[in-house]
Amino acid sequence: MAIIRGNAADEFLQTFAPDDQIFGEGGNDTLDAGAGNDTLDGGTGADLMIGGLGDDIYVSDSLGDVTIEQINEGNDTLFCIGSSLMGSNIEIGRLVGAGTNLSVAASQTFAVQLVVNPTLASTVMGGAGDDVLWGGGVGGTMFGRGGDDILRDQAVATTMHGGIGNDQFVINSLGSVIVENANEGIDTAWLEVDGYTLSDNIEITYLAGAARTATGGNTAEQLVSNQATGSTLFGRGGNDVLWGSVFADSLDGGDGGGGGGCDTAQGDNSNEATVHRDGPFE
């Protein structure tokens, strides 16, 4: 293991020992760690960091930083302490310290996990891959963009934009907001908090955990009762399908789709469900 520290100049710092730590300090540096589980921290300046084989850790503080990783070279992590565009083939990106913005290229199909800052309101943006985005301790904003993404709010009010693809949202905070546009995919919400009201354009919603009641959006959707206890579902607008459980559920389809639109309520024979309707169920 080697520990190398640069200075304020523009330097080329390279080592071939395993499990190295390279600190560029100031300047526009090039850091090349070779094989091993290395740590590369360019410091201030626009730095080029090459991890090589192994599970590497990168520290970035500038949009000018560039990381180079080849596919299948390990499970690599980037810690962003400013604003960064994460390079390809890095599996995990985390906002820490003063970091507030972390994204990958919109066209990148390599799937990543991105984590918002646990202490500051911040923004993470996925690419075209099937990404996983994690909320933090003070919330933030997440953009899945392309791909079939998973967005989790971590029990803190978070704004979650799914984008194009069949996205999944895990909701543990009543203050979280899901943003989906029409025709962007078949999107699913997993509610683990009681009393949540859904936005439009969420096609399927499941109640689980502490969730007992839920209110749908104004577009067509399916609402599925909590399978561990009785639930109350309200569909609002749109042609909705409400699914009960083996427990006594209350299913209200709401207004339906206008112009003769119909809601559907599916119960279970094991217990009685209470069904409310403003128009005919299909």
Counting every residue written for the chain, the total comes to 282
pLDDT on residue 282: 45
Angle at 42 between CA 40 and CA 46, to 5 degrees: 140
The single residue listed with the structure tokens 């589980």 is 37
Take residue 122 and report the two structure tokens written for it: 């911040």
As to burial, measured by CB atoms within 10 angstroms (0-12 exposed, 13-18 middle, 19+ buried), residue 186 is exposed
Closest residue by Cα to residue 59 from 73, 71, 45, 70: 45
Q: Which residue is listed with tokens 């469900």?
A: 273
Give the integer Cα–Cα distance in Å for 69 and 67. Answer: 7
Q: From residue 269, give the alpha-carbon distance in Å to each of 223, 242, 245.
A: 18, 15, 9
115: phi then psi, degrees, rounded to nearest 5: -125, 125
The residues near 81 (Cβ < 8 Å, ≥ 6 apart) are 59, 60, 61, 96, 97, 98, 99
Domain boundaries, the chain: 186-282
Q: How far apart are CA 187 and CA 176, in angstroms?
A: 16
The pLDDT assigned to 136 comes to: 87
Question: Which residues lie closer than 8 Å to 166 by C-beta, 6 or more apart?
Answer: 148, 185, 186, 187, 188
pLDDT score at 238: 86
> Token pair for residue 149?
């993404």
pTM of the model: 0.91
> Among 159, 168, 151, 173, which residue's Cα sits nearest to residue 123?
159
Q: Give the per-residue pLDDT at 279.
A: 42
Residue ranges of the chain whose pLDDT lies below 50: 257-261, 269-270, 272, 277-282
Report the phi/psi class of residue 25: left, alpha or beta, with left for phi > 0 and alpha for psi in -120 to 50. Answer: left
Rounded to 5°, angle at Cα 192 from 188 and 197: 65
Per-residue model confidence (pLDDT) at position 237: 86
CA distance 61 to 44: 7
pLDDT digits (tens, 9 = 90+) for 80-124: 999 999 999 999 999 999 999 999 999 999 999 999 999 999 999
Cα separation, 273 vs 5, whole angstroms: 69
DSSP reduced 3-state for 213? strand
